[in-house]
Amino acid sequence: MSERGSMQRSRDKASVLAGRSVLVVEDETIISLEIEQMLQDLDCGAIWHAANVMQALAVLAQHRPDVALLDVNLGREKVFPVADMLRERSIPFIFSTGYGRDGLPLEWAGRPVIQKPYLTRELAMALTPLIEGEKNI
């Protein structure tokens, strides 16, 4: 496939994400900022950051994102309380981990996962079905 065709598909995916709000739960500041840049490149709207479970729950107390991207390992804690709240509120989310699906407990094994590191087009391809409702919330 040509690079041009790949870029066009990325733009098509980005159009679905345009204006969408995203909660990014990531404890590594540099990675969080890189993700923010990717989301801006995809024309997403509001982007809220949280570095730990408490911050993420505080964001969710004030905002309702269209989708969330959750790093599984947040220092010494896991992101699963945030995933529970998102599931309760029917907000679609995807786990982000360097371990892929193997890094998830069985309870969450059926959820979408994007393996680190990833590119902008891979992020778009992972988030788009969630926005379009192709995955169970």
Angstrom distance (rounded) from CA 83 to CA 91: 9
What does CATH list as the number for 3-132? 3.40.50.2300
pLDDT digits (tens, 9 = 90+) for 41-70: 999 999 999 999 999 999 999 999 999 999
Q: pTM for the complete prediction?
A: 0.87
- DSSP assignment letter at 116: S
CA distance 26 to 117: 13
Cα(first)–Cα(last) distance of the chain, in Å? 32
* pLDDT tens per residue across span 62-107: 999 999 999 999 999 999 999 999 999 999 999 999 888 888 999 9
